[in-house]
Amino acid sequence: MTARLLDGRPVASHMWRDLSSRVAALAETGAAPPRLAIIIFERGGSSAVYAGGIARAARSVGVEPFEVEPPDGVSLPDLAARIGALNRDPSVAGIVIAQPVAAHLELPRVVELIDPAKDVDGATPLNAGRQARAEAAFVPATALAVMRLLHHYEVPIAGRRAVVVGRSPVVGRPTAELLLSAHASVMLTHRRTRNLARETRRAEILVVAAGSPNLIRAEMVNRSAVVVDCGINVTEQGIVGDVDFEAVRPVVSAISPVPGGVGPVTTMCLIEQTVRSAEALHARAEQDESLGRFAHRSISLE
Ligand code: ADP
């Protein structure tokens, strides 16, 4: 029997419909389209591909993307002023950093400059901390995409044994947190794990985010496993995941393809969080306005 395919495209289109109507609802109130700032340090390369993908998805639902390109050699205080202006600008709903950041800067110091309320890719320590405490937070888009994919295909999570391969702060760790919040029993594995195959074979849900093509082979999985592949590796054979798809598909119960699995859902998750931020900004503006009217009235009554 061949595994069920966890195709990301219908999940992304489902999300697209929902998000388009939410952005349209905001527009009906007369609000300007929400904007998404993409901070980019490097022209070309993977940053540009990433930024281009996000910008297209944003535009498709009515969110206005714009790139912010700090000058070469920008100092941290200068960058802080630039990001601070985006934080204060009520038309900006989301701020994301296209990695890599310039070599003279440290990513954590750059990320900290973003207002957590606009951190729609869940990159700031505050959002990571909130997530670790299972509080409402913006979370890294890939981690959210894994969950959306599992929910869409009605994969049971509560009480299941989940194994995550990779512990990066962008994918592995936050995915493990979300699986835990959804009541899975989670094991995180990584480069130092002894006998990786022994651990992955125990997984009922196996999420792979190791950045290593064909790391997961047929003998490393369980027949009942649902496999989600977060890998995006550029090889001579094109883009491949971290799972040997051809070999693993026949021996598991479900598997996500690369490309076309987690990827398209990830971009939509980023836009979803941007729309959520725009809705919150809008609600706050309306509240301020009605408070303002009230204050005005009470003054005029005196
Ligand atoms: P990503 O952005 O997909 O999370 P990173 O390169 O940031 O990728 O992180 C890779 C993660 O995968 C690290 O936590 C590393 O320990 C893990 N990893 C890489 N190769 C292996 C391997 N061969 N076995 C187990 N874990 C691995």
In a domain, 282, yes or no: no
pLDDT, residue 23, reads 98
C-beta of 168 in contact with ligand 1 (< 6 A) = yes
Q: Is residue 294 in a domain?
A: no
Query: How many structural domains compose the chain?
Result: 2
Residues 114 and 193 in one domain: no
Ligand 1 centroid – CA 175 distance (Å):
13
List Cα–Cα distances, 135 to 27, 129, 144, 181, in angstroms. 30, 9, 14, 10
Q: Looking at the structure, do residues 181 and 237 belong to the same domain, yes or no?
A: yes
What spacing in Å lies between the alpha carbon of 168 and ligand 1's midpoint?
7
70 Cα: distance to centroid of ligand 1 (angstroms): 30
pLDDT value of position 294 = 65
Mark whether 111 and 163 lie in a shared domain: no
Q: pLDDT by residue for the chain (302 residues), tens digit each?
A: 689 999 999 999 999 999 999 999 999 999 999 999 999 999 888 888 889 999 999 999 999 999 999 999 999 999 999 999 999 999 999 999 999 999 999 999 999 999 999 999 999 999 999 999 999 999 999 999 999 999 999 999 999 999 999 999 999 999 999 999 999 999 999 999 999 999 999 999 999 999 999 999 999 999 999 999 999 999 998 999 999 999 999 999 999 999 999 999 999 999 999 999 999 999 999 998 888 866 655 555 54
Domain housing 256? 141-261
Structural domain contains residue 302: no
What's the pTM? Answer: 0.94
**Residue 87's domain is classified under what CATH number?**
3.40.50.10860
Give me the pLDDT at residue 298, please.
Answer: 54
Strand, helix or coil for residue 18: helix
Residue 301's contacts (CB-CB under 8 Å, 6 or more residues apart) are none
The answer on 229 and 192 residing in a single domain is yes
Within a domain: 38: yes
Residues 176 and 108 grouped into a single domain: no
Q: Which atom of ligand 1 is found nearest the CA of 209?
A: 3
Residue whose entry in the numeric block shows the structure tokens 């349209």: 24
**208 Cα to the center of ligand 1, angstroms:** 9
| CA 138 – CA 122 distance, rounded (Å) | 5
Between β-strands 185-189 and 161-165, what pairing exists: parallel, antiparallel or unpaired? parallel
203 and 165, same structural domain?
yes
Where among 122, 152, 172 does a domain terminate? 122
pLDDT of residue 295: 63
Does the residue 203 lie in any domain? Answer: yes
The CATH number assigned to the domain holding 226 equals 3.40.50.720
Kindly give, in sequence order, each residue whose CB lies less than 8 Å from that of residue 205, ignoring residues fewer than 6 positions away.
150, 155, 157, 160, 161, 162, 163, 179, 184, 225, 226, 228
> What is the 242 CA–ligand 1 centroid distance (Å)?
10
Q: Is residue 128 part of a domain?
A: no
Q: Which of 196, 212, 243 has most ligand 1 atoms within 8 Å of CB, for mutation? A: 212
User: Residue 127: inside a domain, yes or no?
Assistant: no
Q: Is 146 in the pocket of ligand 1 (CB under 6 A)?
A: no
Strand 226-229 versus strand 254-255 pairing type: parallel
Same domain, 236 and 149: yes
